[in-house]
Copies of this chain bind each other. A is one copy, B any other.
Amino acid sequence: MRIAESGCCLLTGACPGVPHEAVLGAKGAGGHVVGVSPAFSLREHVERYQSPYREYDVLIFTGLGLMGRELVNIHSSDIVIVAGGRSGTLGEFAIAYEQGKLIGVLQGSGGITEALPALEASLTKLTGSEVLYDSDPGALVSRLLTRYTSRDYTCPCYPSARPEASGRSGE
């Protein structure tokens, strides 16, 4: 997985589906994986949300439910990648944009990704967010990392004196 090979930490919502496939890829490549769970305990995580847990290096139990944990998920990510997705992912995109994050959209992955260019154009609020579009997953990750590590990149999330790059990434 490109994300892990790039030295990034992968952060997901610790849910089944596309995010978990990314987790398996990152673990296979020796990456560090953090899961931000909607549940308030491992029991709720497994029994109510029927979500995986064995592959995570760190599991955070927010107890905030499916939409609430997305706040923590996005706040804790440096780069947000959107692949497919429905209303939950739309909420994450909105939070990421509002927080001025660097966002990558995997074109051709269905779901809300086709509607995002027109939507982004209507978001006239200057939050500092930058959105990159690419239909090739590897190229998308590369472009995001190039931008993220470029000298002139900054995020409103950072202190005025920018910290050293810590290389986190979420989806």
Interface residues of chain A, those whose CB is within 8 Å of chain B, are 9, 32, 34, 36, 40-43, 46-47, 53-54, 57-68, 71-72, 75-76, 86-88, 90-91, 93-95, 97-99, 111-112, 114-115, 118-119, 121-125, 127, 129, 156-160, 163, 166
> In the complex, what distance in Å separates the CA atom of A46 from the CA atom of B156?
13
Q: Which chain B residues border A121 with CB–CB below 8 Å?
A: 115
Q: A41-B157, A90-B93, A91-B91 are in contact. List 9 more A-B contacts (CB 8 A).
A: A41-B99, A42-B158, A43-B158, A64-B65, A87-B129, A90-B90, A90-B97, A91-B95, A118-B118
List 27 A–B pairs whose Cβ atoms lie within 8 Å, in order of A's numbering: A32-B58, A34-B58, A36-B60, A40-B75, A41-B75, A41-B157, A42-B163, A43-B156, A54-B163, A60-B75, A61-B76, A63-B65, A71-B71, A87-B94, A87-B98, A87-B125, A87-B127, A87-B129, A88-B94, A90-B93, A90-B123, A91-B98, A94-B94, A112-B119, A115-B115, A115-B121, A118-B119
Q: With A91-B94, A112-B123 in contact, is A67–B58 under 8 Å at CB?
A: no
The smallest C-beta distance from A7 to any residue of chain B, in angstroms, reads: 13
A114's nearest neighbour on chain B, judged by CB, is B122
